[in-house]
């Protein structure tokens, strides 16, 4: 096929010839899916799904019997080739993730890239997205936000990755797993300062949906006040750093400067006092910074 395949198809019709549709599915509430998405899912030759069991539940709810192909993080390369073979036969394929919009902190980007390279039309079927939903209810006055997705699971790697993000002037959007959310907000408070605001969104669009805005310094207490608040899927939206001249103090940078001039314990104590950061987290980070300096 021509690698510059045009987009002159009519997007209002059923599945077109040899098209890869990237279809947004509900993030919780099964009603949150467009009529167009339902029509496409019912008319394609196959559906490439991150978890076929999850997608089958959605399809059964809508009375759709389209063939399913498993395409996930561990088999995307091989499954993508299978999808390309289906496209080559003239049939169309829909790509879906477990929830929300595919290829955003989910598998699918490799397939999309290969389909484009092969010259097939790739068409988005927009809909639910957890990041956009959370930002929309945050109330943070920023015309920009950075979607970062999942941070590293390990604390030291997480803090290292957070360091360059702390002074950005726009909202930061993170996804987090329930068993790591408490440690994540502790690190956020230590790195960004206790006064920075955070929206904690839990189980969006589901029966036990909760959204809560508080200072980072109060996030751990809120999560710990109810055992159910550590369950479900989380989206965290952190308010952007204050404008120049009134910037929130960067705990990481403050600690690094103090370590150049003071003994470790004194530097940690002063950094905690200046930034409002968690002393234990700052102490661990100080040890890492010291070790890094010694090995360079």
Per-residue model confidence as pLDDT tens digits over 268-294: 888 887 777 778 888 888 888 887 664
- Which of the listed CATH numbers 3.30.470.20, 3.40.50.1970, 3.40.1010.10, 3.40.50.261 matches domain 19-128? 3.40.1010.10
Q: Please give the helix or strand (H or E) that residue 125 lies within, else none.
A: strand 121-125
Report residue 207's pLDDT band, with 50, 70 and 90 as the boundaries: very high
Kindly report which listed range (12-26, 107-121, 169-183) carries the lowest average pLDDT score: 12-26
Q: What is the pLDDT of residues 24-46, one digit of tens each?
A: 999 999 999 999 999 999 999 99
Domain 131-238 is classified in which CATH homologous superfamily? Tetrapyrrole methylase, C-terminal domain (3.30.950.10)
Cα separation, 261 vs 18, in Å, equals 64
Q: Extract the tokens encoding 90.
A: 């003239």
What residue segments make up the domains of the chain, in order of their start?
19-128, 131-238, 251-295
**pLDDT tens-digit map of 70-122:** 999 999 999 999 999 999 999 999 999 999 999 998 899 999 999 999 999 99
**Predicted confidence (pLDDT) at residue 240 exceeds the cutoff of 80:** yes
b/e map 144-180, b = 16+ CB within 10 Å: ebebbeebeeebeebbbebbebbbeeebbbbbbeeeb
Per-residue confidence band for 21, with pLDDT thresholds at 50, 70 and 90 = very high
The pLDDT > 70 percentage for the chain reads 91
> Please, what is the average pLDDT of the chain?
89
Neighbours of 236 (CB within 10 A): 23
CA dist., res. 193 & res. 250, Å (int): 7
Give me the count of residues in the chain.
296
Handedness of CA 45, 50, 51, 57 (dihedral sign): negative
If one counts every other C-beta atom within 10 angstroms of the C-beta of residue 61, the result is 12
Which residue stretches of the chain are H helix? 35-43, 52-62, 76-88, 109-117, 130-136, 155-162, 181-192, 216-224, 251-261, 264-275, 279-295
Instruction: Give phi and psi for 119, each to the nearest 5.
Output: 95, 10
Contact criterion met (CB below 8 Å) for 166 and 192: yes
Nearest-angstrom CA–CA distance, 73 and 77: 9
Instruction: Give the model's pLDDT for residue 248.
Output: 42
Give the list of residues 6+ apart from residue 10 with CB closer than 8 angstroms, or none: 16
Which one, of 137, 159, 130, 132, lies nearest residue 234 by Cα?
130
Per DSSP, the three-state class of 94 is strand
Separation between Cα atoms, residue 285 and residue 255, nearest integer Å: 9
Q: Is the entire prediction scored with pTM above 0.95?
A: no
Query: Cα(73)–Cα(63) distance, rounded to whole angstroms?
Result: 28
At 141, is the pLDDT very low, low, confident or very high (cuts 50, 70, 90)?
confident
């Amino acid at each position: 096929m021509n690698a510059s395949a045009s987009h002159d198809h009519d997007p209002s019709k059923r599945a077109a010839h040899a098209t890869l549709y990237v279809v947004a599915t509900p993030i919780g509430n099964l009603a949150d899916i467009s009529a167009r998405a339902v029509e496409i899912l019912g008319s394609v030759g196959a559906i490439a799904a991150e978890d076929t069991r999850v997608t089958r539940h959605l399809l059964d709810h809508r009375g759709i019997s389209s063939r399913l192909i498993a395409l996930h993080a561990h088999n995307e390369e091989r499954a993508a080739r299978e999808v390309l073979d289906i496209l080559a036969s003239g049939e169309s394929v829909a790509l879906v993730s477990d929830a929300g919009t595919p290829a955003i902190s989910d598998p699918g980007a490799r397939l999309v890239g290969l389909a484009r390279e092969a010259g097939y039309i790739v068409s988005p079927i927009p809909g639910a997205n957890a990041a956009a939903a959370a930002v929309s209810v945050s109330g943070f006055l920023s015309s920009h936000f950075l979607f970062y997705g999942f941070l590293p699971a390990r604390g030291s790697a997480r803090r290292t990755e957070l360091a360059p993000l702390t002074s950005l002037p726009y909202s930061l959007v993170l996804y987090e797993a329930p068993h790591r959310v408490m440690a994540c907000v502790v690190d956020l408070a230590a790195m960004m300062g206790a006064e920075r605001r955070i929206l904690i969104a839990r189980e969006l669009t589901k029966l036990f949906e909760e959204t809560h805005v508080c200072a980072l310094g109060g996030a751990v207490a809120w999560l710990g006040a109810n055992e159910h608040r550590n369950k479900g899927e989380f989206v965290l939206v952190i308010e952007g750093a204050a404008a120049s001249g009134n910037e929130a103090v960067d705990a990481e940078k403050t600690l690094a400067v103090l370590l150049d001039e003071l003994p470790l314990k004194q530097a940690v104590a002063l950094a905690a006092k200046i930034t409002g950061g968690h002393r234990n987290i700052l102490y661990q980070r100080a040890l890492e910074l010291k070790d890094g300096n010694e090995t360079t």
